[in-house]
Chains A and B, each alone.
Chain A
Amino acid sequence: DAGVTQSPTHLIKTRGQQVTLRCSPKSGHDTVSWYQQALGQGPQFIFQYYEEEERQRGNFPDRFSGHQFPNYSSELNVNALLLGDSALYLCASSPAGRNTDTQYFGPGTRLTVL
């Protein structure tokens, strides 16, 4: 049973560029959440997708957007990259996004903005 997978593993971009990160949820899961983990900090919630719609959003600007596909996989897009966007981006999946559900995390994508 494959767990949550993310691609790419590492990414280097320059300021002002755009980036797309990808996530495939754990088998049987239909809810995908994205988190940003800056160096030395705990993960911060970006948004959650369920049934191909953004269901909840954290305190992130509109430069951060996402998408969920019919097969439940998801993309995170970040436009007009800033140096402060450098972080580990984590994807998590859960069965239905209930508050009692465990979220299972992927290995993350390390984004470096120069």
Chain B
Amino acid sequence: AQSVAQPEDQVNVAEGNPLTVKCTYSVSGNPYLFWYVQYPNRGLQFLLKYITGDNLVKGSYGFEAEFNKSQTSFHLKKPSALVSDSALYFCAVSYWDNNAGNMLTFGGGTRLMVKP
């Protein structure tokens, strides 16, 4: 079984400051990890993913994520937050079951509030 935990329901940060949204995972085998963002009354928008290789993954809108295998973490980061980054962020892990297809298991989400 696989699972994802996002320990913070909400993260508050001032505009211009760096932000971090935390994610830890549990999966058997190689983890394939994703970050999505959801704006109000909208679907999920893909930000970035880790498959293999460099532990620092760069994605859309200046976001990046750091994969840490020993800590089973995949934290989302941005050097300088914008008010427009305020949204709901989801971490997810992909699971492949004997060629039966893949499914995403999501964390509970973290609301990011960036204040001017």
Instruction: Report A's interface with B, CB cutoff 8 A.
Output: 4, 6, 31, 33, 35, 40-45, 48, 50, 55-56, 58, 90, 92, 94, 97-108, 110
Instruction: Report B's interface with A, CB cutoff 8 A.
Output: 32, 34, 36, 41-46, 49, 51, 90, 92, 94-97, 100-109
Least CB distance, B101 to chain A, in whole angstroms: 4
Asked if B105 and A104 make an inter-chain contact with CB atoms under 8 angstroms apart, the answer reads no
Q: Which residues of B lie under 8 Å from residue A31 when comparing CB positions?
A: 101
Q: Which residues of B lie under 8 Å from residue A41 when comparing CB positions?
A: 108-109
Q: Which of B43, B95, B109 has the most CB of A within 10 A?
A: B43
Asked if A56 and B109 make an inter-chain contact with CB atoms under 8 angstroms apart, the answer reads no
Q: Which of B42, B104, B106 has the most CB of A within 10 A?
A: B104
- The B interface is mostly helix, strand or loop, or mixed, namely strand
Q: Which residues of B lie under 8 Å from residue A108 when comparing CB positions?
A: 42-43
Q: Which of A55, A103, A104, A110 has the most CB of B within 10 A?
A: A103
Given contacts A102-B34, A102-B49, A104-B46, contact A42 B90 (CB under 8 A): yes
Q: Which residues of B lie under 8 Å from residue A56 when comparing CB positions?
A: 97, 100-103
Q: Which residue of B lies closest to A6 (CB)?
A: B43
Q: Which residues of A lie under 8 Å from residue B43 when comparing CB positions?
A: 4, 6, 90, 105-108
Q: Which residues of A lie under 8 Å from residue B96 when comparing CB positions?
A: 98-99
In the complex, what distance in Å separates the CA atom of A113 from the CA atom of B114? 34
Asked if A58 and B104 make an inter-chain contact with CB atoms under 8 angstroms apart, the answer reads no
Q: Which residues of B lie under 8 Å from residue A110 when comparing CB positions?
A: 41
Q: Which residues of A lie under 8 Å from residue B34 when comparing CB positions?
A: 102-103
Q: Which residue of B lies closest to A41 (CB)?
A: B108
Q: Which residue of A lies closest to B90 (CB)?
A: A42
